[in-house]
């Protein structure tokens, strides 16, 4: 895969605010090479955005650096359980072993609650329910050790070279992977209809003892009508920060988005929202390049008004340099 833009971790804190729109426009709309257009306004420490149609990298930031992935782990948990072809209608009881996790985490699934394996997977993927994910591991053939071994074997099969798992919940900071690893996991998960359905469901109710308890999706973007999300998973522990992965279709184009390590503000979906305009826009005017010349913007606007492609201004075959709207060739000092 070819990386369009890669920025070192030390550089991210001092670059000017720009959006990734120019990169996508240059790559997607004009089919030219876009380089050095600056940083999108993302707070995530690691980012990878891949066009699934040709596996090309649209944007990357620390794509090969492994880090804690928190509840993104649960996508692997679901894959391994489904690979084992365990019946989803089999009842499973939440036990004391599912309560005594490595870190304190709130759960409305009290000890003694009995749900089907499918219900537990649904809650683990949609609402990031830790006891549900732990119960899936405890009831895997061979128990938790076999479950963890299967998760690491699956990672190796998928080519996740920097990934390592020690538990099915993601509460352990030893569950690590790079954005490149997670892009492969997301693509694999997106091919499974059960994971697609469960992870993108907005809400789901189950009976906990005598009460019907409703759970909601931890990803606010699934309720946003401007997003067509195929599969998604959120995650958070202190060591990982806020994490979000998804496969989505934007303007008819399938993309995989990996966002890791957002520290503040708390909502990781804010980074996701910032990606929608540049990914969906075909208009080069959606750039935050303060030096872009007024004459160039006017030419593009006039071309768009006549139904013409603005790509002719950036086509190397027509004698123009590759598309880079912040390049001095396109504007005066």
Please check whether residue 236 is in contact with residue 243, taking contact to mean a CB–CB distance below 8 angstroms: yes
Q: Residue 136: which of 65, 102, 88 has the closest Cα?
A: 88
Q: Is position 105 annotated as part of the catalytic site?
A: no
**Which of 44, 46, 128, 178 is an active site residue?**
128
How many CB atoms sit inside 10 A of residue 307's CB? 6
Please check whether residue 63 is in contact with residue 138, taking contact to mean a CB–CB distance below 8 angstroms: no
Alpha-carbon distances, residue 78 vs 62, 122, 196, 235 (angstroms): 27, 9, 11, 15
**Which of 60, 71, 172, 183 is an active site residue?**
71
Q: Is position 60 annotated as part of the catalytic site?
A: no
Please check whether residue 151 is in contact with residue 137, taking contact to mean a CB–CB distance below 8 angstroms: no
Please give the structure tokens belonging to residue 312: 């002719």
DSSP calls for 235-292? EEETTTEEEEEEEEEETTEEEEEEEEEE-SSS-THHHHHHHHHHHH---GGG---TT-
What whole-number distance in Å separates Cα of residue 127 and Cα of residue 146? 25
255, HSE (Cβ side, Cα atoms, 13 Å): 23
Q: Is position 156 annotated as part of the catalytic site?
A: no
Q: Hunting for tokens 């149609």 — which residue is that? A: 53
Give the per-residue SS3 of 76-114.
HHHHHHHHCCCCCCCEEECCHHHHCCCCCCCCCCCCCCE
**Which of 43, 46, 74, 280 is an active site residue?**
74
- The alpha carbon of 137 is separated from its chain's Cα centroid by a whole number of angstroms, namely 24
**Could you list the active site residues?**
71, 74, 128
């Amino acid at each position: 895969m070819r990386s369009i833009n890669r920025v070192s971790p030390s550089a991210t804190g001092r670059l000017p605010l720009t959006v990734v729109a120019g990169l996508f426009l240059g790559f997607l709309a004009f089919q030219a090479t876009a380089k050095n257009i600056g940083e999108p306004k993302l707070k995530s420490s690691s980012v990878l955005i891949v066009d699934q149609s040709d596996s090309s990298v649209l944007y990357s930031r620390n794509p090969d650096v492994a880090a804690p992935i928190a509840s993104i782990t649960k996508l692997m948990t679901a894959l391994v359980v489904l690979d084992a072809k365990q019946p989803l209608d089999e009842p499973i009881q939440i036990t004391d072993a599912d309560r005594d996790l490595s870190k304190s985490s709130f759960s409305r699934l009290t000890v003694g609650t009995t749900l089907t394996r499918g219900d537990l997977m649904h809650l683990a993927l949609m609402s990031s329910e830790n006891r549900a994910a732990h119960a899936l591991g405890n009831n895997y053939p061979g128990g938790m050790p076999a479950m963890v071994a299967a998760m690491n074997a699956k990672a190796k099969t998928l080519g996740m070279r920097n990934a390592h798992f020690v538990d099915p919940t993601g509460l352990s900071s030893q569950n690590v992977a790079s954005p490149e690893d997670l892009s492969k996991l997301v693509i694999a998960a997106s091919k499974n209809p059960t994971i697609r359905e469960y992870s993108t469901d907005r809400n789901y109710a189950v009976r906990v003892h005598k009460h019907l308890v409703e759970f909601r999706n931890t990803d606010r973007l699934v309720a946003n009508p401007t997003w067509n999300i195929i599969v998604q998973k959120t995650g958070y522990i202190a060591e990982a920060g806020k994490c979000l992965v998804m496969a989505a279709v934007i303007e008819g184009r399938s993309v995989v988005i990996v966002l890791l390590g957002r520290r503040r503000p708390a909502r990781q979906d804010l980074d996701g929202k910032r990606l929608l305009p540049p990914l969906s826009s075909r208009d080069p005017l959606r750039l935050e390049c303060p030096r872009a010349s007024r004459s160039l913007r006017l030419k593009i606007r006039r071309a768009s008004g006549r139904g013409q492609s603005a790509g002719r201004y950036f086509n190397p075959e027509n004698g123009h340099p590759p598309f880079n709207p912040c390049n001095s060739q396109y504007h005066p000092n």
